[in-house]
Amino acid sequence: MKSSKRLNRRSFLKTSGTGAAAAATLVAGAPAVLAAKSPNEILGVGHIGLGVRGGELIQQVAGSDKHDPIPNTKVVAVCDVYKPHLKKGVERSNNPSVREYLDYKDLLADPAVDVVVIATPDHWHAQMVIDAANAGKHIYIEKCWTRTLAETKAMYAAVKKNKIVMQLGHNSRESAAAIPAIEIVKSGVLGPITFVRTGTFRNRALGKDEWRWFGGYNIFDRPDPAQVKSDLDWKRWLGPAPARDFDFERFWHWRCYWDYGTGIAGDLLSHSFDFAQFILGYGIPDTCACSGQVGLLKDGREAPDIWNVTYEYLQRGCTLTYACTFNSMEFGQELEIRGKDAIMMWSGTTDFAVYPERNSVRYKPDMDKGKIEQGKPFIKFDPAKTPPQPTHMQDFFNCIRTGGKPKDNEDEAFIEAVTCIMSVEAYKQKRTVQWDPVKQEIV
């Protein structure tokens, strides 16, 4: 079974060990088969998790000074276990009658909720997606899809069984530039692709370190721990994570700790890989090697601040590398797709250009005639020739109404999750890991 194909029921049931048992337990529930919604039908939306990203997503749906509201939708319910975040959700819902929930299961039981937007810490993703799918709710969920392979399989099975529409929150897939880029790659303009490079370089002043903010990406004023503890249902926040006494840092800075996420893999690698996957469509890599360390931000975090990953697509003869540091950002690493004849160089995810390889036999005649110049692009993205694309959130709601597949659907989410988890396994096991597409296992 090719890695880019769907995980069918037979291969899912063939998976062995405790992972399969855990997955079978998670996915239990009666299937909910849904019909496409009329374009004029008002969709009731429930938001679960109203922290930094969740607070932005509700504005994408309900509207704000920066966002037009999604037509024919209404935020009818919000849920969070931290009172200030719940209050934020109420204020941004643009609905004076919005219902407030502490327990997400109560929100899922609300008959007015047709759609859920999930933006909780990653350790909650699996159970919430499965419960929402079993409740017949369409799902928009933030990246990374989840933390373990067993959870990934269970989520995939639940979405497929219940036939709900699911969108993973990599909004770079709304890029209009991606549309011609995909066709350029497919048409062979670059020649055989052997090397793909991407990465994330960041740097903050010490004391204002990555992942150590409070309620906003640029907020570093430390709240009163006693008040935070009073306003938070800590036990509900922990949920499926290991039990422990209230920990101020773990609540605010959960990405720093393995119990709740996958560090750089789930936060930043997932974005870069998902966009490369959107353009290339290569699926899950065959092998993965990963190294990392806490190089400079020795502040008690477990997850590294340096992360270097090498993926191999052995049948394609292609390598994809990802590099990340939180301690340098000048001359960052944008996506490069290197073919034998030409290279596609990206500027963010909104613009690209294609340059000839100086020793390309294919383009030598045109270079000799001056039709193509070495060091200058011979193809550039032209926005005028590409129709505007719907936002990632709008694409999700469009598919609910048409019964279509969103750009970052469950098949793509499965690829994203497995690929990111492979890097974590390679790092923790200190060895190269492989993806077995028949057993659907990391070995």
Calculate mean pLDDT across residues 121-149: 98
Give the residue from 100, 56, 95, 96 showing the smallest Cα distance to 82. Answer: 100
Q: 137 pLDDT exceeds 70?
A: yes
- % of the chain exceeding 70 in pLDDT: 93
Q: 103 pLDDT exceeds 60?
A: yes
Q: 29 pLDDT exceeds 90?
A: no
pLDDT in tens, 394-414: 999 999 999 999 999 999 999
Q: What CATH number was assigned to the domain covering residues 176-206+262-388?
A: 3.30.360.10
Radius of gyration of the chain measured on its C-alpha atoms: 22
What pLDDT was estimated at residue 37?
78
Q: 24 pLDDT exceeds 50?
A: no
Q: How far apart, in Å, are the Cα atoms of 174 and each of 170, 177, 428?
A: 9, 9, 34
What pLDDT was estimated at residue 14?
35
Q: 27 pLDDT exceeds 90?
A: no
Alpha carbon distance 258, 241 (integer Å): 10
pLDDT in tens, 191-236: 999 999 999 999 999 999 999 999 999 999 999 999 999 999 999 9
pLDDT tier for residue 12 given thresholds of 50, 70 and 90:
very low
pLDDT tier for residue 287 given thresholds of 50, 70 and 90:
very high
Q: Residue 248: count other Cβ atoms within 10 Å of its Cβ.
A: 16
pLDDT in tens, 427-441: 999 999 999 999 999
Calculate mean pLDDT across residues 255-283: 98
Calculate mean pLDDT across residues 52-57: 98
Q: 18 pLDDT exceeds 50?
A: no
Calculate the average pLDDT of the chain.
Answer: 93
Q: 34 pLDDT exceeds 90?
A: no
**By mean pLDDT, which of 34-48, 175-189, 200-214, 372-386 is the weakest?**
34-48
Alpha carbon distance 88, 90 (integer Å): 5
Q: 3 pLDDT exceeds 60?
A: no
Pair of tokens at residue 90: 């109420």
Calculate mean pLDDT across residues 330-359: 97
pLDDT in tens, 235-255: 999 999 999 999 999 999 999
Give the residue from 87, 64, 55, 61 showing the smallest Cα distance to 75. Answer: 61
Between these two residues, 9 and 280, which has the higher pLDDT value?
280
Calculate mean pLDDT across residues 161-179: 98
Longest CA–CA separation in the chain, Å = 74
